[in-house]
Amino acid sequence: MNKLERMNKSLLPIISLCLINLCAFGQDFQKVKLDSFFHALEKHDKFMGTICIAQKGQAIYSTSLGYADVQEKKRATATTEYRIGSISKTFTSVLVLKAVEEGKLTLDQHIQSFFPELAEAEHITIRHLLQHKSGINNFTNRPDYLSWSGQSKNSDEILQIIASGGSDFMPGTKTAYSNSNFVLLTFILETTYGVPYRELLKRNITGKVGMQHTFVGSKIDTSKGEAKSYRRQAGWQLEQETDMSIPGGAGAIVSTAQDLVEFSEALFGGKLLTAKSLEIMKTLDNVFGLGIMRIPFYEKTGYGHGGNIDGFSSMLIHFDEGDVTYAAISNGSAINMNDVTVAALSAVYGKPVQVPQYSDYKPSEEELGKYVGNYNSKDIPLEISITIADGVLMAQATGQSAFPLESTAVHQFKFDAAQIRIHFDPSKLSMKLLQGGKTYNYNKK
C-alpha cells in the first residue's frame, strides 16, 4: 500500500498522463514499436508483469515479461495472477451499486447504524465513502502500519484501528483518498448480505463474467499460478507481503490482465449494472467517480483505477470512444507505471512510442564511495542520505525508505519510478536533485 512501491501504505492510483491533442483511434497499431519498448525494459530488468490491450472486446496486444517467481525462475504468463491493489475498489463499488439496485442500500444513507463508534458517522453517507469525501483518516498512513500489516486482523480489530484515527475534516467538505472508506464498504456489504465479501465478488461479478483467475487473495502461492512481488535493488529483492485480511475491498483482490479487461468490458458494456447505475458511477466530483476516476490521455477521457500494494502495481483504463481497454499489472518495476501506460496507449492511438535508452556505464564501488554522505539543502527541508548497499548507490530522504540509484553517466544517476535525477559534483561536495521540473541544490554535511 505508499512511499515508493516498497512502502505500499496508501494503495494510491497513478493517474497523471499526457494532456495534448490526440488523433482519432489509429488503425495501424504500433505493435513492433511497443514490442521494442517492452524488450528494452525486460533486457535491462526494469519491469516484470503482464499487459493486455483490447478493442471492442478483442485483444489486440498481450505480453508478459519477467518472472512470477524469481528464485524458482518461473516465467510470467498471460494467466499469472497478481495482486491488483486499489483496482479492487472498482469491484467493491460495483457490488455497492448492485446492492442499491436491489434496494438493500441507498447512496445517501448515513453509516451510523453500521459504525456508531466512528467520529461523524451520523454525517457520513455511503456516497461519501465511495467518493473519498468522508473525512475518515486513512489507516494505512499510520506510522506503525508496516509493523502489523503482515498480521491477520479480524473486522473488529480493523474497525477499532480505523475509529482510533478519527476524522480529518467534516464529511462532504473535501476530498481525500482513504483506504478506510473501502474497508468500511466491505463491512457494510458483508453485514447487508450476511456472506463474506469473497462470496459476493464471485456471485455478482467473477461468476457472471467468467473470470476464472480473479478472487480475494490470501497467502501467495506460486504453485497455484500466483506471482510474488519484488523491488529492484542489486537484483530483484523479494517484497514484504500484506495479510489480505487487512485491505479487504480496498485492495485484496488478485487477478490477471486478461480478467481485468473482461471485467472492464462487462462493466462498461452494461452487463454488471444498469445504465443508470453506470452513469452514477462515472459522474465525477473532482477527479473521483464512485470507485473509478477520470484518467486523461491527450484529449481522450478514460475511466479506471490504479493500484499499488507490496511492490505490485497495476492500471486499468477504459475509453468509451473506440471501446478500448488497457490493463497492466506488474510484480516488479524500476520505472514509473505511467511511462508504461503512456507507451502502450501511444501505440494504440498513433502517437510516438519512445523506446527507452539505458546506459552501460557502471561506476566502480570506489567511485560510488565519492558520493556517500548526508546532504542538506536550503531549497527544501529534506535531508538525503547517500549510502552503498550490495554495490548499489542508495538514496534515502528523511522519513522515507531508501531507493536505488541507477548510473546514467559520470556523476549522474536516476530513479525512474519517482522520476528523480541526481547529479553529483564530488569536487564541490554537492549534488543537484531534479524532479517535477524543479532543481534542488544540496551540499554534503
Q: What is the pLDDT of residue 401?
A: 82
For the beta carbon of residue 44, count every other beta carbon within 10 angstroms.
Answer: 16
Distance of CA 57 to the CA centre of its chain: 24
Distance of CA 329 to the CA centre of its chain: 9
| pLDDT tens, residue by residue, 173-224 | 999 999 999 999 999 999 999 999 999 999 999 999 999 999 999 999 999 9
What is the longest distance spanned by two Cα atoms in the chain? 71
Q: 225 to each of 68, 69, 81, 245, how far by Cα in Å? A: 8, 10, 6, 21
For the beta carbon of residue 212, count every other beta carbon within 10 angstroms.
Answer: 14
For cell 566502480, name the residue: 364
Name the β-bridge partners of 433.
422, 440
Q: Under a CB-based contact definition with an 8 Å cutoff, are residues 283 and 289 in contact? A: yes
In angstroms, the CA 106 to CA 125 distance is 9
Q: What confidence category does residue 234 fall into, taking pLDDT thresholds of 50, 70 and 90?
A: confident
Residue 94's SS3 state is helix
DSSP code of residue 285:
B
Give start-end residues of each CATH 3.40.710.10 domain in the chain: 26-356
The x, y and z cell numbers of residue 167, run together, are 476524522
Q: Under a CB-based contact definition with an 8 Å cutoff, are residues 445 and 430 in contact? A: no
Residue 100's SS3 state is helix
- In the chain, the amino acid numbered 411 is H
Q: Under a CB-based contact definition with an 8 Å cutoff, are residues 288 and 132 in contact? A: yes
Which CATH number is 26-356 given?
A: 3.40.710.10
| pLDDT tens, residue by residue, 278-320 | 999 999 988 899 999 999 999 999 999 999 999 999 999 999 9
In angstroms, the CA 23 to CA 248 distance is 40
Q: What confidence category does residue 264 fall into, taking pLDDT thresholds of 50, 70 and 90?
A: very high
Nearest Cα to Cα of residue 232 among 85, 395, 398, 417: 417
| pLDDT tens, residue by residue, 97-154 | 999 999 999 999 999 999 999 999 999 999 999 999 999 999 999 999 999 999 999 9
Q: Are strands 412-415 and 420-425 parallel, antiparallel or unpaired?
A: antiparallel
In angstroms, the CA 342 to CA 317 distance is 12
| pLDDT tens, residue by residue, 357-390 | 887 788 998 999 999 999 999 999 999 999 998 8
Q: Under a CB-based contact definition with an 8 Å cutoff, are residues 69 and 93 in contact? A: no
For the beta carbon of residue 236, count every other beta carbon within 10 angstroms.
Answer: 21
Q: What b/e readout covers 31-41, taking b as 16+ CB neighbours within 10 angstroms?
A: eeebeebbeeb
| pTM (predicted TM-score) | 0.84
Q: Is the pLDDT of residue 235 over 90?
A: no
DSSP code of residue 286:
T
The DSSP line for 102-166 is TTS--TT-BSTTT-TTSTTGGG-BHHHHHTT-S-B--GGGSTTHHHHTTS---HHHHHHHHHHT-
12-16, 69-73, 253-257: the lowest-pLDDT one: 12-16
In angstroms, the CA 226 to CA 68 distance is 7
280: left (phi over 0), alpha (psi -120 to 50) or beta: alpha
Across the beta sheet with 392-397, the strand order is 403-404, 392-397, 384-389, 373-376, 438-444, 430-435, 420-425, 412-415, 406-409
Nearest Cα to Cα of residue 390 among 239, 233, 229, 230: 233
Residues 27-50, mean pLDDT to the nearest whole number: 91
Q: At what angle do helices 88-101 and 257-268 cross, to 10 degrees?
A: 30
Give start-end residues of each CATH 2.40.128.50 domain in the chain: 365-444
Which CATH number is 365-444 given?
A: 2.40.128.50
